[in-house]
Amino acid sequence: MNPFRFPGKLFRSAGEDVSASHVQPDTPQTLAPTYELAFADREFLLREELRPVRLQLELLKPDLIMNEHEIGSTIVVFGGARIFERERALAEEQKAEAALALSPQDSELSKALEKAKRAVEMSHYYEEARKFGNLITREQQLDAGCHLHIVTGGGPGIMEAANRGASEAGGESIGLNIVLPFEQCPNPYITPALCFQFHYFAIRKMHFLMRARALLACPGGFGTLDELFETLTLVQTGKVKPMPILLMGEKYWRDLINFDQMVDYGLISAADAALVTFVETAEQALEQIKLFYLAEGEICI
C-alpha cells in the first residue's frame, strides 16, 4: 500500500458536526442562539444581510440536483395558470349557466357565464400543451442521444398540462414553483425529485434558461409575459444563444402585442420581431424546433 496515496476524506463533514453539536449537554452557553452553527441557524440565514447567500443557495441547489440527474437540455413551456382542461371548463360553464337561469337579470352572473364560455375556448391550449409535453418526452425516448426534459413553472393550467403530457409519456419533467399567496402548490405531474421551490423570481427565471433549447409560450397573463420578454431581451442582446421562441395561438398574441408597430416606431428591428414564430399545434411547435436545429447543423434537438 502506497503511504503517500491521497487518503480521501480528511475533514469531518458539516452534517457530522451538526449531529455532534446536538448531543452536547444543555447549558446556558450551548442553549444560546449564538452557539448554533452558522449554516444550521435558520434565523441567522433568514436575516436581511444574508440575502446574497440565499440568492447563491437558490441558484446552487437546483443546479446541483439537475446535474446529478444528468439534465442536459430543457424545453421550456410557459402559459397561464388559469387555463384548464376541457372537462373542468365545461363543468364550470354548466354551473354558470345554472346560476344565471335562477337569476337571469343578474349582470355579474351574466359576465361569469361569458368568462366560463371563454375558458372552454381556451381549454384548447391546455390540450396542446399536454400533447407537446408528450411529444417532447417521446422524442427523447426515441433518441438515446437526446436528453430533453420539459420544464415549467410548476403550477396549474398550462404548466400542469405540459408536465402531465411528459408524465403520460413515461418520462421525467421539471417544475420550478415559487412561493405565492395563491397558485403556489406544485402540480401532481412533476417528477418529485425534480420539483423545486423558489423565493426569488430572478433566480427562478435564470433556471428556466440555463439549459433551455427552446421556449413555447401559450396564452397567459403577467407572469407569462414577464418570462417571455425576459427571454426575448436576453436573446436580442446576445446574453443567451438564439433558440426557437414559439408563441402558440397567433390570434391571441397578435391581439396582445403589436410587434410590427414596434418595428414601425423604430423601437425594435425587423430581426428582433423575427425572433418569435407563431404556431397553432404541438406538432407544429416540435417541427419548428427540429427545423431550427437542423439549420444549425445539429441532428438532435
What integer best gives the mean pLDDT of the chain?
Answer: 92
Q: What is the CATH number of the domain that holds 218?
A: 3.40.50.450
DSSP state of 48: G
Q: Is residue 264 in some structural domain?
A: yes
pLDDT digit string, tens, across residues 72-86: 899 999 999 999 999
At 22, the amino acid letter reads: H
Helix (H, G, I), strand (E, B) or coil at 268: coil
Q: Which residue, among 154, 92, 165, has the nearest Cα to 127 in the 3D structure?
A: 165
pLDDT at position 7: 60
pLDDT digit string, tens, across residues 258-295: 999 999 999 999 999 999 999 999 999 999 999 999 88
User: Which domain range does residue 137 map to?
Assistant: 64-85+123-295
List all residues 6 or more positions away from 196 whose beta carbon is below 8 Å from its beta carbon.
61, 62, 65, 154, 174, 175, 176, 177, 207
Question: Burial of 166 by CB count in 10 Å (0-12 exposed, 13-18 middle, 19+ buried)?
Answer: buried
Side-chain half-sphere CA neighbours of 214 within 13 A = 23
Going by pLDDT thresholds of 50, 70 and 90, the confidence category of residue 2 is low
Q: Is residue 155 in some structural domain?
A: yes
User: Which of 14-18, 49-53, 138-142 is predicted least confidently?
Assistant: 138-142
Whether pLDDT at 146 is above 70: no
14: left (phi over 0), alpha (psi -120 to 50) or beta: alpha
Going by pLDDT thresholds of 50, 70 and 90, the confidence category of residue 186 is very high
Q: Is residue 52 in some structural domain?
A: no
Whether pLDDT at 297 is above 80: no
* Mean pLDDT of the 28-34 span: 91
Element (H, E) at 246: strand 245-248
pLDDT at position 184: 73
pLDDT digit string, tens, across residues 244-259: 999 999 999 999 999 9
d(CA 110, CA 96): 8
At 157, the amino acid letter reads: G
β-pairing verdict for 212-217 and 245-248: parallel
DSSP state of 245: E
Considering only residues 145 and 217, tell me which one the structure prediction assigns the higher pLDDT.
217
pLDDT at position 125: 98
Q: Is residue 260 in some structural domain?
A: yes
Whether pLDDT at 142 is above 80: no
Strand intervals (E) in 104-194: 148-152, 173-178
User: Which of 94-103, 121-130, 177-186 is predicted least confidently?
Assistant: 177-186
* Mean pLDDT of the 209-225 span: 97
DSSP state of 13: P
* Mean pLDDT of the 203-227 span: 97
Q: Is residue 35 in some structural domain?
A: no
pLDDT digit string, tens, across residues 46-95: 999 999 999 999 999 999 999 999 998 999 999 999 999 999 999 999 99
d(CA 23, CA 31): 12
Report residue 64 as a C-alpha cell: 446541483
Q: Is residue 268 in some structural domain?
A: yes
- Number of folded domains that form the chain: 1
Calculate what percentage of the chain has a pLDDT beyond 90: 81
List all residues 6 or more positions away from 286 whose beta carbon is below 8 Å from its beta carbon.
132, 135, 136, 139
Going by pLDDT thresholds of 50, 70 and 90, the confidence category of residue 147 is confident
Q: In the β-sheet with 245-248, what is the strand arrangement from edge to edge?
A: 195-198, 173-178, 148-152, 73-78, 212-217, 245-248, 276-279
Considering only residues 140 and 150, tell me which one the structure prediction assigns the higher pLDDT.
150
β-pairing verdict for 245-248 and 276-279: parallel
Q: What is the pTM of this model?
A: 0.90
Element (H, E) at 74: strand 73-78
Q: Is residue 270 in some structural domain?
A: yes
